[in-house]
């Protein structure tokens, strides 16, 4: 696929379609995985060292609490790195769903609509022709309509016939 860029830009993600976002998300996940591992190891190491050498004036329990407080922040950083790993996967899935799968589904749907429309038009044309043929066979030739009788003028209606 070639050399991955040192700094990702939108152009990189979109021109390497459909794999650009996948490559980027995979790099982010790997980086966050390494950081998460490092934070975890560092938290355990710091906790052990601080618990063994508490600040002056701390008793054993206070030394443990202070060591835990410092290590706890590193554990939080580990959780955030794991969250970034999950979000990178979500980013990849969302991009694929919207920008790769959706246009394909729309194209399939449009092709299906066009096929259904052509089938409906063909059925309608066939039905109309079949109806005309059936009517022509069922009904005998109708006799021509007689010409209308002449109408009397309107004013003739008001004439009286013998007064």
- Statement: residue 50 has pLDDT above 90: yes
Confidence of residue 152 (pLDDT cuts 50, 70, 90): low
Q: What is the pLDDT of residues 73-104, one digit of tens each?
A: 999 999 999 999 999 999 999 989 988 899 99
- As given in the structure block, the two tokens for residue 51 are 């618990």
Taking Cα atoms as reference points, which of 34, 42, 32 lies closest to residue 74?
42
**Closest to 81 in 3D by CA, of 5, 30, 9, 22:** 30
pLDDT at 2 over 60: no
Residue extents of the structural domains in the chain: 10-103
What's the pTM?
0.62
């Amino acid at each position: 696929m070639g050399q991955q860029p040192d700094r990702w830009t939108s152009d990189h993600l979109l021109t390497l379609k459909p794999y650009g976002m996948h490559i980027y998300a995979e790099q982010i996940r790997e980086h966050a995985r390494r950081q998460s591992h490092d934070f975890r190891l560092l938290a355990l190491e710091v906790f052990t060292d601080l618990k063994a050498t508490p600040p002056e004036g701390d008793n054993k329990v206070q030394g443990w609490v202070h060591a835990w407080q410092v290590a706890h922040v590193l554990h939080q950083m580990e959780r955030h790195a794991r969250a970034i790993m999950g979000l990178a996967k979500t980013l990849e899935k969302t991009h694929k769903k919207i920008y790769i799968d959706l246009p394909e589904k729309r194209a399939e749907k449009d092709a299906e609509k066009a096929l259904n429309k052509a089938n409906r038009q063909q059925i309608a044309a066939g039905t109309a022709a079949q109806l005309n043929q059936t009517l022509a066979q069922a009904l005998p030739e109708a006799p021509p309509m007689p010409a209308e009788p002449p109408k009397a003028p309107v004013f003739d209606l008001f004439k009286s016939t013998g007064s």
